[in-house]
Every structure is written in C-alpha cells, then in structure tokens.
Amino acid sequence: MKIAIIGAGIGGIATAIRLAKKGHEVEVFEANNYPGGKLSEFQQGEYRFDAGPSLFTMPQFVTELFELSGRNPDEYFQYIKLPEVCRYFWDDSTKLNVSADINEFAQNAEKYLGEPAENIIKFLTKSAFKYEILSGLFLEDSLHKVSTWTSKKAFRGYLNLHKLGIFGTMNKANEGFFKQPKTVQLFNRYATYNGSDPYQTPATLNIIPHLEYNIGAFFPKDGMFGITQCLVNLAKDLGVKFHFGAKVKEILVENKKVTGLKVMDSNNDIENAQNTFTIHHSSFIISNMDVTPTYRKLLPKAKHPEKILNQAKSGSGLIFYWGIKKEFKELGLHNIFFSNDYKTEFEYQFQKKTIYKDPTIYLNITSKYKKDDAPKGCENWFILLNAPANEGQDWDTLITEARQNVIDKLSRNLGVNVAELIENESILDPRSIEMRTSSAQGALYGNSSNNKFAAFLRHANFSSDIKNLYFVGGSVHPGGGIPLALSSAKIVADMIK
C-alpha cells in the first residue's frame, strides 16, 4: 500500500521504517529542510549543538528498528553507557555527583544529603516494579482498543492498582518516602521529563527514574542528532522516500476516508503560495505533526475532538545555547542547579504562566564526550529552563530577565563571571519551538499530564471519524520523549495490516 507520513520527527521516521519493512511504499513529507523535528542539530560558529532532547534512555527502542530490518545496529549506530547520571548543585554549596552504580549513588546520597542509602535502593526497586506493571499496558498497546483492557497485562495492572500511585501526587509520595528535602527535590525533578508539575502530576510518573538508574543513561557517539541520522539512513535503505521543504497544506478526505495530501511545491508560506501545490495520493495517512495543528490546519472541514484539543498544554522550555571559552572540570554531561523554592517555581510556570526569578537550570555539555562539539579549551553549553506554554506572554522581557538570572546563579555556583565567557549565543523560546516544530503553543509534550486521568485523555493513535488516518509522536498516546515516540510508532505500525 502507498502510505504518506506528515513530519520527519523521530516518531514519523520510526513508523516509516516499520511500515517499509512490511513492504509498503512509504513517503515522508517534512516542512523543514532537515529531519528530526525537535531531535535536530545546528552549528554556531565553531560549536555544534543538539537542538532539543539531550538525554538518551532505552536504546533498545532504537536498536530494535535495525534488528527487525535485518541490519546490524553496530554498523549504523554507536552509543555508550554513561558512568555518571547527573551532577546536582544547590545554592548552599551542596553538591552530589550521581553515579550510574545504584549502590554508589545511594551511599553518596547518605553522605552528602543525609538520606539513608536504603531509601534510595527501595525507591528504585519500587520504580522498577511500577514500570514492569505499567509498560505493557500504557506503552505497548493502544488505550483506545477494548482488547487492551481485557488482556492479561491489564488484569495484572488492576490487581496492583493501589501500588501504582495513580491517586496521589508525585511530590506527596516522595515526601512520604524520603527523609531529606533535597532528595525529594531530586526525584520530583522527573516530572519535568514530560513537562509536568510534581505537585500536581500523579505519582505514577515515579516510574521514570527506573529508566535512568536501573536501565541506564546513554550517549550516542555522534550526539543526540546521531539517533535521527542513523534512522533516516536505515529508512532510506529500506526504500522510504523523504521530501524536505515540503509543507503539507491539507489532508484530503472523501466519504470519511483519506485519499492523499495536498503538498506545497516549495517551503513558502502557504498564504503566499496557494496555487503551487501537488496532490499525493495515499491509502493511509500518518501525522507525526502535533495533533492540535493537524486538525486545526490540515483538516479544516473535519470534526475536531475539541475536548482533547482544548486541554491545558504541557510545559515548554527556554533554551540558551552558549559557546563558552573555558572548560569546567566540576561540570559533567548532565548538570542541574536547583531553585531554592521548587514549589514556587512550578506555581509560576503552571499557574502564573511565567518564569520564576530563581529558576532550576539544566546544563548539558556534549563536548564532555564529543570533543569536536567545541573548540579546544571550550564547552558548548545547552541551558534549559522550565517555561510555560505560549499564551501571548511578553517573551522578550522574560528572556532578558531569565538570561540575567541564569548568569547570576551559575556565576555564584561556579565562582566565575559567566557573562564574560559567552563567546556566541542562540535562544529558543516557546514561540520559536511552535514555529519550527508545529508544537501547539510550543508545548514540548502535547497536553498536560497534571492530573490522574492524563494518560487516558491523550488523543488515540487513530481517528475514530476518518478511516485510515493515524497519529504518531509525543502529542498522542503514549506521550512525549524519545522512548514514548518510538513506542507510538510501533503501536501505529501494528495497527496497519
């Protein structure tokens, strides 16, 4: 069958691979001139940056695509397991380097935070148990099929429902488990992995640490964009055809069944090029575009699932890309500089829709492992702050204030004037995230997960009104992030017989 995929994000590429392996004729239409969506890269002077996701977990979801295609993953994709997960910094001079060895992590947490080592071990054991129960139900199958809820996996979940943290918040669960506020803050941080607020999101999300600690954190030898590159190469080897600079104007539907796409002949603005398009006929359409603009922009005549599309959005991010003309031995690949008032920071993000004056700073430095990402003696700093989705805020003012707050906080913690070390700079905010990746309001993970029913309120991987229309990626089931986007690709590919 002839299948068209809208968007060359990681979910769209993985879906293309799975369907091409089944023998289908697959074409991918990407509005940008490069693949990857959020998982892209750019050059800034002599510095290279991964533009978006910076943490790599669950590498088996990537290597599986090569194995099912009859390829040797090592010939396409190389990565290493990190010996260290993250380095944490607090303004009172407390520091904690978290080893990939769980026992060492636990001992250091006791030494530097005062948290009994056994609490760390027990927590991660429970996290692994929750993941084992939930992964088969929430990550591998569609929640919108009756068969999912009548399976053996589902009944096992029902029997353990009281252990999964569905009815309480992440913060409440962590405060009840750990003795030290800094440990609570450390594990509350994992709510941000899908753009959530730990003071609202269910404790079910305490499965996330399992991925990073029990399975491991990894680094692709070619950087995060190496994931995109290797999967595009695999897709092309399987016969997938990519169209870049190809903006889809409309999904064509007749008698409630997709018939193809109307695609702009150039990457011009649609309003200025309405008469320069080509019709591409397809039996199936899969949208890797955010589900909200898919309906609003590409399906103007179709019935829209308004309750889903109008839900509150997940958090977004404000990113500073800095070329730094100095190396810091005290910093690692992943670094966190915590806010002194975590609860207030999230209140500002989700209630006040702004950025707190004392933000938590995530600092990623890929040149620690990929030396050619920065000139000798220098580092490429990727700085991410939690930010609200775009609702028309005065971003220019917010960016100016946040930039100074970041410089002040990092300068205090590192004992240098960071401002004097910035050689070059780029900025990505919710407005530009929305523009570049078609993410509604610049939200990084689609709809918000700040309630216990969030997993059930995501859009299905298929349309219930339009035949042969499917959805893949972070804005639909099972959610955002590289592993979940790859899971959604498997769910969609398995649906198309």
pLDDT interval class at 130 (50, 70, 90): confident
Structure tokens at 98: 């978290």
Structure tokens at 49: 């940056």
Could you read off the pLDDT of 338-382 as tens digits, one per residue? 999 999 999 999 999 999 999 999 999 999 999 999 999 999 999
Residue 149: per-residue pLDDT: 47
Q: Which residues pair with 426 in a beta bridge?
A: 321
Inside any domain, residue 447: no
Distance, in Å, from the CA atom of 124 to the CA atom of 202, rounded to the nearest integer, reads 17
Inside any domain, residue 203: yes
Give the SS3 label for residue 485.
Answer: helix
Residue 475: per-residue pLDDT: 93
Question: Rounded to two decimals, what is the model's pTM?
Answer: 0.93
Are residues 456 and 307 both part of a single domain?
yes
Inside any domain, residue 230: yes
Q: Where do runs of H (alpha helix) occur along 189-321?
A: 208-209, 225-237, 291-298, 306-309
* Mean per-residue pLDDT of the chain: 92
Are residues 75 and 127 both part of a single domain?
no
Are residues 174 and 251 both part of a single domain?
no
Are residues 108 and 25 both part of a single domain?
no
Structure tokens at 495: 């649906």
Structure tokens at 192: 């941000």
pLDDT of 145 higher than 80:
no
End-to-end CA distance of the chain: 10
pLDDT of 146 higher than 60:
no
Residue 158: per-residue pLDDT: 47
Cβ count near 31 (within 10 Å): 20
Are residues 277 and 298 both part of a single domain?
yes
Q: Which residues pair with 228 in a beta bridge?
A: none
Residue 162: per-residue pLDDT: 55
Residue 357: per-residue pLDDT: 98
Inside any domain, residue 345: no
Share of the chain above pLDDT 70, in %: 91
Inside any domain, residue 86: no
Are residues 204 and 107 both part of a single domain?
yes
Rounded mean pLDDT, 32-51: 97
Are residues 207 and 234 both part of a single domain?
no
CA angle, corner 433, sides to 86 and 338, nearest 5? 30
53 upstream amide cis, omega within 30 of 0: no
Rounded mean pLDDT, 32-53: 96
Rounded mean pLDDT, 60-88: 96
pLDDT interval class at 456 (50, 70, 90): low
Are residues 296 and 269 both part of a single domain?
yes
Residue 265: per-residue pLDDT: 83
Could you read off the pLDDT of 388-402 as tens digits, one per residue? 999 999 999 999 999
Of 215, 243, 258, which residue constitutes the final position of a domain? 215
Distance, in Å, from the CA atom of 333 to the CA atom of 335, rounded to the nearest integer, reads 7
Could you read off the pLDDT of 206-238 as tens digits, one per residue? 999 999 999 999 999 999 999 999 999 999 999
pLDDT of 126 higher than 70:
yes
Could you read off the pLDDT of 261-297 as tens digits, one per residue? 999 986 555 455 456 889 999 999 999 999 999 999 9
pLDDT interval class at 453 (50, 70, 90): low
Inside any domain, residue 399: no
Distance, in Å, from the CA atom of 261 to the CA atom of 491, rounded to the nearest integer, reads 23
Domain holding 35, by residue range, is: 2-41+56-79+223-311+452-495
Residue 276: per-residue pLDDT: 82
Structure tokens at 67: 């194995």
Are residues 139 and 194 both part of a single domain?
yes
Cβ count near 352 (within 10 Å): 12
Are residues 203 and 233 both part of a single domain?
no
The number of distinct structural domains making up the chain is 2
Could you read off the pLDDT of 239-260 as tens digits, one per residue? 999 999 999 999 999 999 999 9
Residue 479: per-residue pLDDT: 86
Inside any domain, residue 344: no
Are residues 118 and 179 both part of a single domain?
yes
Residue 296: per-residue pLDDT: 96
Of 215, 242, 276, which residue constitutes the final position of a domain? 215
Share of the chain above pLDDT 90, in %: 85
Of 158, 188, 215, which residue constitutes the final position of a domain? 215
Could you read off the pLDDT of 403-446 as tens digits, one per residue? 999 999 999 999 999 999 999 999 999 999 999 999 999 999 99
Inside any domain, residue 456: yes
- CATH number of the CATH domain containing 483: 3.50.50.60
Are residues 272 and 204 both part of a single domain?
no
Could you read off the pLDDT of 156-178 as tens digits, one per residue? 554 555 556 677 999 999 999 99
